[in-house]
Structure 1
Amino acid sequence: MKHTISALVKNKTGVLAESSAAFQDNKINITSISCGETENMDVSRMVICAEGSREEITKVTEQLKAMDFVIQLDDLARKEFVDRELVLIKVEVNKDTMSQIMQIFEVFRADVVGMGQKTITVELSGDQERVEGLIKILQPFGIKSLCRTGMIALKRGDE
Structure 2
Amino acid sequence: MKHTISALVKNRPGVLAESSTAFHNNSINITSISCGETENMEVSRMVICAEGSDEDIAKVTKDLQAMDFVIKLDDLARKEFVDRELVLIKVDVNKDSMSQIMQIFEVFRADVVGMGQKTITVELSGDQERVEGLIKILHPFGIKSMCRTGMIALKRGDE
Q: Which TM class, normalised by the smaller chain length?
A: over 0.9
Q: TM-score, normalised by structure 2?
A: 1.00
Is 1:40 aligned with 2:62? no
Displacement, 1:90? 0.1
Partner of 1:76: 76
Partner of 2:19: 19
Partner of 1:85: 85
Displacement, 1:120? 0.1
Is 1:157 aligned with 2:143? no
Displacement, 1:111? 0.1
Which residue identity does 2:32 align to in structure 1? S
Separation (CA, whole Å) in 2 of partners of 1:102 and 1:154: 32
Separation (CA, whole Å) in 1 of partners of 2:144 and 2:67: 41
State percent identity of aligned pairs: 89
Separation (CA, whole Å) in 2 of partners of 1:78 and 1:62: 17
SS for the counterpart of 1:40 is coil
Partner of 1:52: 52
SS for the counterpart of 1:31 is strand
Partner of 2:98: 98
Separation (CA, whole Å) in 1 of partners of 2:137 and 2:59: 38
Separation (CA, whole Å) in 2 of partners of 1:66 and 1:141: 48
User: Which ranges of 4 or more aligned residues in structure 1 deviate by more than 4 Å?
Assistant: none
Unaligned runs of 5+ residues in structure 2 are none
Separation (CA, whole Å) in 1 of partners of 2:19 and 2:43: 15
Which residue identity does 2:78 align to in structure 1? R
Is 1:121 aligned with 2:117? no
Partner of 1:111: 111
Q: In the TM superposition, what whole-angstrom CA distance separates every residue of 1:67-111 from its partner, at most 9, and x where no partner exists?
A: 000000000001100000000000000000000000000000000
User: RMSD of aligned C-alpha atoms?
Assistant: 0.2
Which residue identity does 2:108 align to in structure 1? F
Partner of 2:145: 145
Unaligned runs of 5+ residues in structure 1 are none
Which residue identity does 2:31 align to in structure 1? T
Separation (CA, whole Å) in 1 of partners of 2:130 and 2:118: 25
Separation (CA, whole Å) in 1 of partners of 2:66 and 2:21: 14
Which residue identity does 1:156 align to in structure 2? R
Equivalent residue pairs, number: 159
